[in-house]
Structure 1
Amino acid sequence: MKTISSVVENYIKSKPFLLNGLTLGIVNLTSLARIIQHDLENEMDKEVKQGAIVMALKRLSEELDFRINHKIEKTLKGMGEITVRSSLVNYNFPINQRVLNRQADFLSEISSLKDVFYTSSRGVNETNIILSESISDILERHFEDEKWLVKTDKLASITVKLPKDNVGTPGLFYFVFQRLAWDGININEVISTNFEITIVVSEEHIDSAFKVIKDLKKV
């Protein structure tokens, strides 16, 4: 049997921005109840009073605040060291066997170099290579016969060590990216492993991005 509470919860969970607004307490519940009343009545196939929707939203927002934010806050407080790197370049190539072979040769040449940054992410049709500007000439020598799709320089990265329970924390990355977006910080690239995330931004935004990431521990 459908109840107002269950129908409201299912409706809100299907709307990520409403869900986030409720957990932050920035949504006018009466206005929201009026807006969604018609949809809920169609779902329940009967008249639903606006006051009942408001009460269901209030209970839901209190439960979500604990269920979602408490777990995210606990995970964020467990973040480890933060490493910042500057003077990075991002190359984007279409995937083909030549690119993969040349990438292997490039890695072999730089394997003994210290204090350089290199990472690669591969999609279905293209691959990104992000590296220290100091070794970009080596990469371009290996890829001189390949045409990159995009080359972006003057980048910087923030790498954060994550606690082991981050994998089981829904909404963690959304929460992080949301805070960066609120500060007008555009993300150029994201590289993640199970217990580490690297966020690449323009050098002009690195100070602001570092402050946002550092302050997440205080949420």
Structure 2
Amino acid sequence: MKTVAQSVEQILRAQPFLEEVLQRSIINFSALAEELQPEIAAMLKKPVKTGAIMMALRRYHSPVGVSNNQKLKQAFKNLGDITVRSNISAFTFKNTNTLVNCHGKLLSYVSANTHLFYAFTRGILESNIMISGSETEKVNSFFEAEHLLMQREALAAISVQLPQDNFKVAGLYYQIFKHLAWQNIALYEVVSTTNEFTVLVEEDLVEQAFAAIKGLKAQ
């Protein structure tokens, strides 16, 4: 039979933000216990006192997590340049048999204009193209016969140079996403290579997003 402590652990593991503030002792245990009481009572199918929940919260020990990972902290200290590009346009097309041919035309154009920002992601049903806003007409021309699902203007791209072997560091992307989420910054697109990470946000959020990512170096 599941215990109160096990129920508390299940809830905290499913809500990493909540687990972190609990770990940092910046949350009211009594208020949190009252908040969790109905959910835990439903899980255990019996009445549960808030005192028992408070005791379970105080005794809870999170695993040696990403926030205390020395390898993670070192990785953030070794972050490279952070580059911001504004006036980015994004296009979402439905995947078709002819989309690749259109993309080939765009690649030929981009290769001759290396100053442009350009990124491409392909999913199962759709593909995204992100390119400097000055080239919107070129994209519309190359892909005029394709099914355009969405087009967005006035985006900004923030690119971060990651340290070598970053793919071996657990929690790296989680921390980046967490800092952005805590600033209430919604991401339009995420693009990554082995040693580079780029997020696209609306231009009016770029300063906040830049500050949030830069702040990771000071952790």
Aligned to 2:190: 190
Aligned residues, how many? 216
Q: Is the 8 A contact 1:160 1:198 kept in 2?
A: yes
Aligned to 2:151: 151
Aligned to 1:12: 12
With over 3 angstroms needed to count, the CA separation of the structure-2 counterparts of 1:74 and 1:54, relative to structure 1, is farther
Report how far residue 209 of structure 1 moved.
1.5
- Which aligned pairs between 1:108-187 and structure 2 lie closer than 5 A? 108-163=108-163, 164-170=165-171, 172-187=172-187
Mean CA deviation greater in 129-138 or 83-92: 129-138
CA–CA distance in structure 2, aligned partners of residues 30 and 166 of structure 1: 40
Identity %: 35
- Which structure 1 segments of 5+ residues have no match? none
Amino acid at match of 1:95: N
- Which structure 2 segments of 5+ residues have no match? none
Aligned to 2:204: 204
Report how far residue 56 of structure 1 moved.
3.6
Mean CA deviation greater in 157-166 or 16-25: 16-25
Report how far residue 4 of structure 1 moved.
6.1
Q: Does 1:69 align with 2:67?
A: yes
With structure 2 as the length reference, what TM-score do the two structures score?
A: 0.80
Q: Does 1:27 align with 2:24?
A: no
With over 3 angstroms needed to count, the CA separation of the structure-2 counterparts of 1:83 and 1:178, relative to structure 1, is same
Q: Is the 8 A contact 1:75 1:166 kept in 2?
A: no
Q: Is the 8 A contact 2:121 2:191 kept in 1?
A: yes
How well do the aligned residues superpose, as a CA RMSD in angstroms? Answer: 3.0
Q: Match of 1:198, SS? A: strand
CA–CA distance in structure 2, aligned partners of residues 97 and 131 of structure 1: 22
Q: Is the 8 A contact 1:89 1:153 kept in 2?
A: yes
Q: Match of 1:176, SS? A: helix
Amino acid at match of 1:57: L
CA–CA distance in structure 1, aligned partners of residues 186 and 39 of structure 2: 35
Kindly provide the CA deviation profile for residues 157-178 of structure 1, in whole angstroms up to 9, marking residues without a partner as x: 00112232455423x4343233
Report how far residue 194 of structure 1 moved.
3.3
Mean CA deviation greater in 18-27 or 96-105: 18-27
Greater helix fraction, Structure 1 or Structure 2: 1
Amino acid at match of 2:111: S
CA–CA distance in structure 1, aligned partners of residues 43 and 149 of structure 2: 48
Report how far residue 187 of structure 1 moved.
1.7
Q: Match of 1:25, SS? A: coil
